[in-house]
Copies of this chain bind each other. A is one copy, B any other.
């Protein structure tokens, strides 16, 4: 805190995100700081638009120091992805969702997920980078983490009361995930230009349209 370098770091350590796991050793703390710095820069400028020197500066250490924690640049990106991919961010919300009927369950899940993603809309950018600059090569690394909770959620839907239309459950799941993309991306894309009439109560309406779309009764 009182060294020159620590001071230098503090000027650039803006909007630091609370780490997923509180780091125990000093090495782990530096690693966490690096991941957080890299995340901010990747989100803002893309993978190839971010240099190792910028990451070092943002984290408050010298270029060479990075390589004590990561083998190369791509390893850093993978590290960020494994901690901050929107699918992972959203998982706790999905697991916490509750409801006796299909409608209340999905509505609760939707709003919990929005609350989680709404603060961190930026994380969608990580997904886009993964899609464009890595051709989605790393998503498979998360698959075994994501699959079991998703299956559990599917079972929760099946057990819930309420008349579902004749739609295969996998399609219900996929379109439920799609609901968020449809909302966030129309927001991101049209961003500043979007007429207010397309914004007021939009998520409410989106969820409503979706639920009315899969249920037999209003």
> Which residues of A does B touch, CB under 8 Å?
43, 45-49, 125, 127-129, 131-133, 136, 139-140, 143, 165, 167-171, 173-175, 177-179, 181-183, 185-186, 188-195, 197-198, 200-202, 205-206, 208-214
Distance (Å) between the CB of A150 and the closest chain B CB?
10
Alpha-carbon separation in the docked complex, A6 to B189 (Å): 39
Residues of B within 8 A of A205 (CB): 167-168, 171, 175
Residues of B within 8 A of A198 (CB): 170-171, 173-174
Quick check: B133 and A175 within 8 Å, CB to CB? no
Alpha-carbon separation in the docked complex, A197 to B174 (Å): 10
Residues of B within 8 A of A127 (CB): 189
Alpha-carbon separation in the docked complex, A47 to B127 (Å): 16
Residues of B within 8 A of A128 (CB): 128, 131-132
Quick check: B177 and A186 within 8 Å, CB to CB? yes
Alpha-carbon separation in the docked complex, A49 to B77 (Å): 15
Quick check: B202 and A136 within 8 Å, CB to CB? no
Distance (Å) between the CB of A69 and the closest chain B CB?
24
Alpha-carbon separation in the docked complex, A102 to B215 (Å): 20
Quick check: B190 and A133 within 8 Å, CB to CB? no
List, sorted by A's number, 10 A–B pairs whose CB atoms are closer than 8 Å: A48-B49, A125-B131, A136-B191, A165-B212, A167-B205, A175-B186, A178-B182, A181-B186, A211-B213, A212-B212
